[in-house]
Structure 1
């Protein structure tokens, strides 16, 4: 399938208005370890990350946005604007969070809608640009928009059940359901299966202005 450009690059050709964010301002950012943690793998680069099944299928984007309980908008919301960061690991190996989660595309492959909850690039930065202030957005919603961890696959795969996974927020493991984690400004969210990443990221240095 032809690789589509991130929505923020393609918007010049469509009516959809993106006002608050762009790939140019998102940048990669930097994750930081849990304070006081030591790592036996601190100088070792991660091995090859799993990719199969984690790619974003742009077909059905609008349906996944609706399945997440969110409307398909024709522009990014301006009532509330903040960012969180998501890291995903399988047995300590990182999984790329794809660009264009939370977008819908036409049959011709052009962007034609957007969710208040979305990504612009592969930095793992989640953009919350809401049309109404005070609404709550969750990790489960971004995973639904991504189309992963839907319980149809084997443990540890892209489509395993989310109950098999562990989630940490700002370095602290959470006891409740992973999908119920509420996204808050500048949170570092780590979702992992099997062996935890070492060290466990606890912070994320967002690019200036994000």
Structure 2
């Protein structure tokens, strides 16, 4: 939970859904998708956390019950599907940022670099709902149903511009 604290969050012992939003993140290197891991912002080894196989069997889907110690950041991933969950016990919580998520992931993100890829030697572009974003990508607010695509190197033929969120997903 040290990375959650580094990102500015105070981990809790369970989920709070007073403010509850979802955004989706795609990361592509030379057009190839890079999986956003399950369990970012979750202490997956804590007893109150249950990891079940995903429906397609390619990873784990982590669900949080009640933990004896803080095990959950308000910004996290349950499954390796790129959905970023923002869940807070505060009404109208200010949106978390993409930079906070990358801090929790332990991956550098700023206006020059994504991980070990830096713009001085590799093309980097960030898109929000299919539109190229300007400025520091770390400052992008994770608002409801945003589709964010971090494109490193050669872009894909089509940059993702939306995600099929479920109708009842906030």
Q: Same fold (TM over 0.5)?
A: yes
Residue 143 of structure 2 aligns to a residue whose secondary structure is coil
1:122 is aligned to 2:74 = no
Higher Rg of the two aligned structures:
1
**Which of 182, 186, 197 is the equivalent residue of 2:156?**
197
> Residues 30-54 of structure 1, C-alpha deviation per residue, up to 9 Å, x if partnerless?
xxxxxxxxxxxxxxxxxxxxxxxxx
Counterparts of 2:89 and 2:152 in 1: how far apart (Å)? 34
Structure 2, unmatched stretches of 5+, are 50-66
Hey, which of these two has a bigger chunk of strand by percent?
A: 2
Give me the TM-score of the superposition, normalised by structure 1.
Answer: 0.62
* Deviation (angstroms), 1:94: 0.5
Structure 1, unmatched stretches of 5+, are 1-61
Report the equivalent of 2:139: 180
* Deviation (angstroms), 1:150: 6.0
Maintained 8 Å contact 1:150/1:159: no
Maintained 8 Å contact 2:25/2:82: yes
Maintained 8 Å contact 1:150/1:162: no
* Residues 150/206 of structure 1: CA separation in 2 closer, same or farther (3 Å cut): closer
Where has structure 1 moved over 6 Å in runs of 4 or more? none
* Deviation (angstroms), 1:190: 0.3
Give me the TM-score of the superposition, normalised by structure 2.
Answer: 0.75
1:73 is aligned to 2:73 = no
> Residues 104-124 of structure 1, C-alpha deviation per residue, up to 9 Å, x if partnerless?
255xx6445101111110111
Report the equivalent of 1:149: 108
Residue 65 of structure 1 aligns to a residue whose secondary structure is helix
> Residues 67-86 of structure 1, C-alpha deviation per residue, up to 9 Å, x if partnerless?
10111111112220110000
Counterparts of 2:151 and 2:134 in 1: how far apart (Å)? 14
Counterparts of 2:119 and 2:76 in 1: how far apart (Å)? 20
Counterparts of 2:88 and 2:118 in 1: how far apart (Å)? 28
